[in-house]
Amino acid sequence: MHDVCSAIHPLAAGSPFFKSLPLERFGLHWIQPEIPLAHPFDDGTAACLYRDVDFTADSLGQDKRNYCKLMKPLVRDWEKLSAEFLQPMLHLPRHPIALAKFGMRVLCPTTLLANLFFKSNPARALFAGVAAHSFLPLESPLSSAFGFVLGSAGHAVGWPIPSRGSQTISNALAAYLQELGGEIETNCKIDNLEQLAEARAVLFDTSVWNFVQIAGNQLPDPYRRRLQKFRHAPGIFKIDYALSAAIPWRSDKCRRAGTIHLGGTLEEIAAAERDIAHGKLPERPFVLVAQQSLFDQTRGPHGQHTLWAYAHVPFDCNVDVSEKIEAQIERFAPGFRDCILARHKTGTTELEKSNPNLAGGDISGGAANLWQLIARPVFSQTPYRTPLRGVYLCSSSTPPGGGVHGMCGYHAARAALRDIFAKR
């Protein structure tokens, strides 16, 4: 069994919205790997993000003090901070003191911050790998924010795996909606607004580009032009593997981790992400690996394993990068190729065919650069609201952006309740 889309869920586990729902009653159960994240190196060692922030800091040696200085305040205030950064950037903070601890550091480029605060290559690379989830060049402002958010989430709530697959998240949400009286209709493609049944409010969980196609000329020209200028993020190339055995990582720590970042040093990751931003495929792309079957026996036959992996690639890249992905895994786990029983490749074109929201392999709903986080997709305190009465956007093209957290829909629904139903 493999996850078609997302696999590891720190933001779902930390989502204020998800935590307000009785999803466990509908079959959603989280599995916490012994080590949330490992980042191996060519010498057979690995830097790790452990659940315990002090243990992680201790493992980083000379960078212990600065790691604690950066991460401990965020972990301590996680509940307050997650409510702040999982909403539009243009908002009145409910927890200004906690947010101030986040400070100006989040605006720093990852390369600058890592070199200023960390002395060792392992600490720099560990932070860079987490920050690379931004799909931004690591020299970009705000790229470090992803390192802080996902890193502190790892300590506060873990990087968990849903038992029996990520589909159980959707199943639990759907079952709860139906219990509340909601109905779900599938296999019905919507090409224009006229196809929709009359309703007081309609929420579009589509990319801005698909929304423009569906709404067509009903959108005012200035608004439509703003949406059309919204920039894509880079794409991914994904492979799902059936394996005869667990991956033979050089580092024992990697054999105990749910997620593995394959990218080498800070400098190597930064170079790869820089190439991708300029439309160039790097020789050694940044690769993310999830090995769920080590912790969830429902994922594969007894004694065998599955593996979920993807590489960052340029937007709409049509090159098969499976050799590059396997070379990166083999680099840190010699003998990996001997374990492969079968592989299923999903390139940018296949991703878009399976889900039109993933145009060009962009799984983020658009680039998460500084401007597109402030104006996502438009500059507004309520960016979910469109010029069409009762029509809202609620996809990852709206704040807080990509990731499995449900907060885009949560904020869009609250906007609709205020606007249409006069409820707060």
Distance CA 313, CA 234 (A): 6
What confidence score (pLDDT) does residue 424 get? 65
Are residues 146 and 40 located together in one domain of the fold?
yes
Measured between alpha carbons, how far is 8 from 160 in angstroms, rounded to an integer? 6
145 and 18 part of one domain: yes
Query: Does residue 146 sit within a domain?
Result: yes
Is there a single domain that holds both residue 19 and residue 156? yes
Q: How far apart are CA 270 and CA 242, in angstroms?
A: 31
Sign, Cα dihedral of 90, 95, 96, 102: negative
Mean pLDDT of the chain: 95
For 185-215, the DSSP string reads: --S----SGGGSPP-S-EEE-S-HHHHHHHH
| Strand (E) or helix (H) holding 39 | strand 35-40
Same domain, residue pair 302 and 381: no
Write down the pLDDT at residue 82.
82
pLDDT at 95 over 70: no
In this predicted structure, the answer to whether residue 92 has a pLDDT above a threshold of 80 is no
Looking at residue 150, its amino acid is: L
Whether the Cβ atoms of residue 336 and residue 329 lie closer than 8 Å to each other: yes
Q: Taking phi first (over 0 means left), then psi (-120 to 50 degrees means alpha), and beta for anything else, what does residue 44 get?
A: left
CA neighbor of 230 nearest in space, from 87, 347, 374? 374
Residue 394 is encoded by which pair of tokens?
């609620």
- The parent domain of residue 319 ranges over 235-356
Q: How far apart are CA 406 and CA 12, in angstroms?
A: 8
Give CA separation, 142 vs 128, 148, 154, 234, in Å: 13, 10, 19, 17
Mean pLDDT, residues 112-128 taken together:
98
Residues 108 and 226 in one domain: no
- Domain for residue 168, yes or no? no
Q: Are residues 276 and 308 in the same domain?
A: yes
Last residue of a domain, one of 144, 161, 178: 161
Please, which pLDDT band fits residue 80 given cuts at 50, 70 and 90? Answer: confident
Q: Do the Cβ atoms of 127 and 109 come closer than 8 Å?
A: no
349 and 382: one domain?
Answer: no
Are 332 and 199 contacting, i.e. CB atoms less than 8 angstroms apart? Answer: no
The verdict on residue 124 lying in a domain is yes
pLDDT tens, residue by residue, 27-71: 999 999 999 999 999 999 999 999 999 999 999 999 999 999 999
Residue 312 sits in the same domain as residue 410:
no
Q: How many domains does the chain have?
A: 3
Looking at the structure, tell me whether residues 212 and 249 fall in a common domain. Answer: no
- Say yes or no: 292 and 385 in one domain: no
Task: State residue 156's pLDDT score.
Answer: 97
Give the CATH number, domain containing residue 331.
3.30.519
Count of alpha carbons within 13 angstroms of residue 398, beta-carbon side: 27
Contact assessment for residue 377 and residue 411, using Cβ atoms and an 8 Å cutoff = no
- Within 8 A by CB and 6+ apart from 184, the residues are 174, 177, 178
Looking at the fold, whether 138 and 26 belong to one and the same domain comes out as: yes
Query: Coil, strand or helix: which one is 122?
Result: helix
Mean local confidence (pLDDT), 218-245 = 97
Q: Note the pLDDT of residue 98.
A: 67
| Model pLDDT for residues 183-226, shown as the tens digit of each residue | 999 999 999 999 998 899 999 999 999 999 999 999 999 999 99
Q: What is the mean pLDDT of residues 268-290?
A: 98
Closest CA to 140 of 179, 112, 116, 115: 112
Amino acid 88: pLDDT? 83
Q: 13: Cβ–Cβ under 8 A, 6 or more apart, which residues?
A: 30, 153, 157, 158, 160
Q: Does 182 map to a domain?
A: no
Close Cβ partners of 303 (under 8 Å, ≥ 6 residues apart): 245
205 plus 251 within the same structural domain = no
Indicate whether 185 belongs to any domain: no
Rg of the chain over Cα atoms, rounded to whole angstroms, equals 21
